[in-house]
Amino acid sequence: MGLTFIVVLVIVLAVFFDFTNGFHDTANAMATPIATGALRPKVAVAVAAVLNLAGAFLSTTVASTISGGIIHEGPGGVDITPAMIFAGLIGAVIWNLVTWLRGLPSSSSHALFGGLIGAALVGAGLGSVDFGVVLSKVIIPAVLAPLVAGLAGFIATRLAYRITRRPVEKNHRAGFRVGQIFTSSLVALAHGTNDAQKTMGVITLALIAGGFLPTGSAPPVWVIIVCACAIAAGTYSGGWRIIQTLGGGLTDIKATQGFSAEAATAATVLASSHLGFALSTTQVASGSIIGAGLGRRGGAIQWATAGKIVIAWFITLPAAAAVGAVCEVIAGLGVEGLVIDATLGLVVILAIFLLSRRRPVEQSKALEVDVAMNSVMTRVERRAAEKKRGDEILATRRRLSDESSLFDYGPREEAT
């Protein structure tokens, strides 16, 4: 009974993690096309969701280890128990939600690794974690990813502006908007093939650990379907907070920059996953956007925001590890402990959800208006429009506070 219960809890939580992974990472692919008006917000997240769904089905080569060598798993190492996976997942989910609430793009895989490391440290001791691998797989790539992607984005943006420059006549830079749709879609597809696999791996390994599947078996079909749907639903729900940070909070993105940034992201993600030097998609995307921001003359980077993002990257792993460790301590009590963990986790998730309602960023509409104003108009036109809108509001207020009776007001409107 106990083991079945734990495995069910792990599966439910893993699916929810997959969902948070989806909405956390929508911004990587879709923040720039939304910001430049290449795709309308709802359309963009729908495209990303479909591509994530397709990607999840297209690639089902699941990793044979959960932690990718960070924890000494398997024969000769420690046994990762389902309870440990559960504690680690709570850490990952909570950290993903906290960073989402703050609108910070942080790596979901680092959160998952962090949670597992915390749980393993408590559950199996200090020797269970290979800190050399932590350094080479998490910490150093976190420094290098934004540098490589930033340089790629910077050079690409410079080239794009230089090549399309026409000092006198009209340039055709609006055409980059069309290109952007394709580069962003490529990033979304790559995300689907990559990230859904992680959750499939976690669920499959939990099923194996619980004795429901033989060792070394592939993920069952229902696991693939559930994971694909969870990540697609998460993507579609759109992490608007993070989209806002990447699409407008870091720098004011033009179509040329958006195309260059997304091309740099796609190139870096694909190169790193095929030439054996794994980089986090989230960090690559943020890096390329900063690079693209620096590449445009007159483009300013909000370094305060960039700094917050970098800090979030570096506390992701320890913070998720801390939550994972606490959960593992509680889980040590047995089944009661797991119930306490699950309840606490649920309370925290609900609290974060309520906090997010207090200052909602459900702003696909608001984003759209901002974008329309930024992309279509020049600065002068925008100021004029703002002034005009302000004048209209003022005029309406004056009219409504007019002394004349309301009965006069209606017909007179019709007459005009």
Partner 1 sequence: MIDWAAFIVVAAVSIGSAAVLVAIFALGLRLLAIAETHRGVRVVAVTCFVVAAAGALYGVYLVIPSLQLA
Q: Does 64 bind partner 1 (CB under 8 A)?
A: no
Q: Judged by CB under 8 A, does residue 264 bind partner 1?
A: yes
State in angstroms the smallest separation of the CB of 29 from partner 1: 12
Q: Considering only 98-106, 157-165, 230-238, 407-415, which stretch makes contact with partner 1 by CB under 8 A?
A: 157-165
Q: Which of 47, 71, 97, 160 touches partner 1 by CB under 8 A?
A: 160
Tell me which stretch binds partner 1 (CB under 8 A): 216-224, 266-274, 364-372, 382-390. 266-274
**Contact indicator for 79, 216 with CB cutoff of 8 Å:** no
Span near partner 1 by CB under 8 A; candidates 28-36, 132-140, 242-250, 386-394? 132-140
CB 130, min distance to partner 1, A: 12
What does the alpha-carbon distance between residue 131 and residue 71 come to, in Å, rounded to a whole number?
Answer: 9
- Please pick, from the candidates 2, 8, 58, 355, the single residue that binds partner 1 as defined by CB under 8 A: 58
Q: Which residue has the tokens 């479909």?
A: 50
Q: Locate tokens 């609290």: which residue?
A: 351
User: Minimum CB separation from partner 1 for residue 193, in Å?
Assistant: 5
The CA distance from 301 to 249, in Å, is 9
> Which of 4, 8, 61, 384 is in the footprint of partner 1 by CB under 8 A?
61
Q: In this complex, which beta carbon is closest to partner 1, that of residue 69 or of residue 337?
A: 69
Among positions 230-259, residues that touch partner 1 (CB under 8 A) are 256, 259
How do the residues of the chain divide into helix, strand and coil, expressed in percent and rounded to 5? 80, 0, 20
The vertex-226 CA angle with 269 and 312, nearest 5°, equals 45
Report CA 192 to chain centroid distance, whole Å.
12
Residue ranges in 267-296 that form contacts with partner 1 under rule CB under 8 A: 267-268, 270-272, 274-277, 279
260 is an interface residue for partner 1 by CB under 8 A = yes
Tell me the CB-side half-sphere exposure of residue 304, using CA atoms within 13 A. 1
d(CA 40, CA 52): 18
For residue 144, count other CB atoms closer than 10 A to its CB. Answer: 15
Alpha carbon distance 299, 367 (integer Å): 20
Q: How far is the CB of 55 from partner 1 (least distance, A)?
A: 7
Among 1, 75, 126, 163, binds partner 1 (CB under 8 A): 163
**Footprint (CB under 8 A) of partner 1, residues 320-359:** none
Which CB sits closer to partner 1, 175 or 318? 175
DSSP codes joined into one string, 47-103: HHHHHHHHHHHH-----SSSSTTSB-BSTTSB---HHHHHHHHHHHHHHHHHHHHTT
**Sequence-distant (≥ 6) Cβ neighbours of residue 299 within 8 angstroms:** 251, 252, 257, 292, 293
Q: How far is the CB of 137 from partner 1 (least distance, A)?
A: 9
176 binds partner 1 (CB under 8 A): yes
Query: Angle at the Cα of 91 (from 90 to 93), degrees rounded to 5?
Result: 65
| 130-138 LR contacts (CB < 8 Å, sep 24+) | 130/69, 130/70, 130/71, 130/72, 133/68, 133/69, 133/70, 134/70, 134/317, 137/68, 137/69, 137/70, 137/278, 138/70, 138/110, 138/113, 138/317
Binder among 9, 87, 116, 186 for partner 1 (CB under 8 A): 186
Site membership for partner 1, residue 167 (CB under 8 A): no
Hey, which residues between 137 and 156 contact partner 1 (CB under 8 A)? 140, 144, 148-149, 151-153, 155-156
- Shortest Cβ distance from residue 54 to partner 1 (Å)? 9
C-beta of 155 vs 310, nearer to partner 1:
155
Number of shown-chain residues binding partner 1 (CB under 8 A)? 52
Name the site residues for partner 1 (rule: CB under 8 A).
55, 58-59, 61, 132, 135-136, 140, 144, 148-149, 151-153, 155-157, 159-160, 163-164, 166, 169-173, 175-176, 179, 182-183, 186, 189-190, 193, 256, 259-260, 263-264, 266-268, 270-272, 274-277, 279
